[in-house]
Amino acid sequence: MNPQTETKAISRQKSAELADEAEQLRIEINAAEAGALAPLSPVTQEPSQFQEILDSVTGILGDLPLYVTSFVSEYQRPIVTVGLFLSALVTVRVILAMVDAVNDIPLLAPFFEFVGIGYSAWFVYRYLLRASNRRELVQDISTLKDQVVGHHSS
């Protein structure tokens, strides 16, 4: 026998075997009867470790709003304090960044220094040179302090 004939014979034999196996595996479905499907068999396997972890995680996530609500109600004052502290810190950082950006503008930083030196010179001349003006400054400061603290001297 030549090799090509042998290959064809083996191929026919394999085809016949596969056809026999397919015939044995054939399942007939009768669609004429309604509800003729086999009921599902109950799961008899024990839940796997993954399933147990998944169940515990979904349980925790399901109760998460309750946990968060109780935590916030119990620690409301410290949370507000930390929030105010963080917002003050962010505000200071933003202000410093803005001042740094303004200082990078040419001629603006020296102009602000000049204005500051001029205001300081005016303040010294207006309030600090004479004793009567110093008394007036002390009186203005004490009046302002009383208004802030809440003592009105009317």
Residue 90 confidence (pLDDT): 97
In sequence order, the 6+-apart residues with CB closer than 8 A to the CB of 108 are 102
Tell me the C-alpha distance between 109 and 103, whole Å. 5
Query: Scanning the structure block, which residue is given the tokens 């972890």?
Result: 53
Residue environment code for 129-145, b if the CB has 16+ CB neighbours within 10 A, otherwise e? eeeeeeeeeeeeeeeee
Contact between 146 and 152 (Cβ < 8 Å): yes
What is the value of pTM for the model shown? 0.40
DSSP symbols for 130-147: SHHHHHHHHHHHHHHHHH
Residue 152 confidence (pLDDT): 66
Tell me the C-alpha distance between 12 and 23, whole Å. 17
Is pLDDT of 28 > 90?
no
Is pLDDT of 50 > 80?
yes
Residue 85 confidence (pLDDT): 97
The larger pLDDT score, comparing residue 63 to residue 91, is at: 91
Give residue-wise pLDDT tens across range 78-137: 999 999 999 999 999 999 999 899 888 889 888 989 999 999 999 999 999 999 999 999
Q: How confident is the model at residue 151 (pLDDT cuts 50, 70, 90)?
A: confident
CA atoms within 13 A on the CB side of 89: 6
